[in-house]
Amino acid sequence: MDHDDPADTVASFSEAVMREAMWDMYDADTGAALDNSKAISLNVDAEDTDEVDLALFVDDDDHPGEFEPNSTQVVQLCEFAHPETCAKAVPYVWAPETFDCGESDESNPDAGFVCVDIEAKTDKDGDLAVIAETRAPSPMCVEPDDDGDDTETTDDIVETVVKEDPTVVEDGGEKRRRGLTQARINRRSGNRSRHLRTGRVRGTRTSTRGRRG
């Protein structure tokens, strides 16, 4: 890097973070890229990896007449809690090949497809702009039912990983390792199955890791 002052480094870092957080938007029916529409998704709280900040812009020029001006629309953040069970018998036409799940997996209860809804209003031109804070939709993040069953939870899995990891140290070290493991498990379900949807528009993360500098 050729930086002359701290502002250059901060600007470069910020640009890299935004690139990595950027989502591309597509036509849900054709898979065509919507060049004027973009989204950003960030996990800003290191202590709570389920907290997600979202920004979304859908340009009416990309989808003329998709949304009525000055109307309320529903934006959904969706993912599969157990993408390892996905068969992708019918893939999403808009998703990259690396995407873990497909359209047919939404009806598979083992895959744990779930969404959270975010309401937003279009402007006078029919453009949709959203800036919102929400929670990851994965069922792993939902409080367990009070039915007394002994189903293994995410915390159970984390405790098992921590106890069996010979590199874990006592006290503060164990707490830190537990937090890191929790983060890895929570992220695993959303890495390549999380997406945005509103109307006939779909969005998924742009893979840019490794392009910093």
pLDDT (tens digit per residue) in 14-54: 777 767 778 899 999 999 999 999 998 887 776 776 788 88
Percentage of the chain lying above the pLDDT 90 cut: 44
User: Is the CB of residue 60 less than 8 Å from the CB of residue 85?
Assistant: no
> Is the separation of the CB atoms in 24 and 58 below 8 Å?
no
Q: Which of 85, 66, 42, 35 is nearest to 205 (CA)?
A: 42
Instruction: Name residue 151's amino acid.
Output: T
Phi, psi of 166, rounded to the nearest 5 degrees: -70, -15
* Mean pLDDT of all residues in 165-179: 46
| pLDDT tier, 11 (very low <50, low <70, confident <90, very high otherwise) | confident
Residue 5's pLDDT is what?
A: 75
Fill in the amino acid letter for 37.
S
How is residue 180 written in tokens?
């890191």
Q: Bridge-partner residues for 122, per DSSP?
A: 128
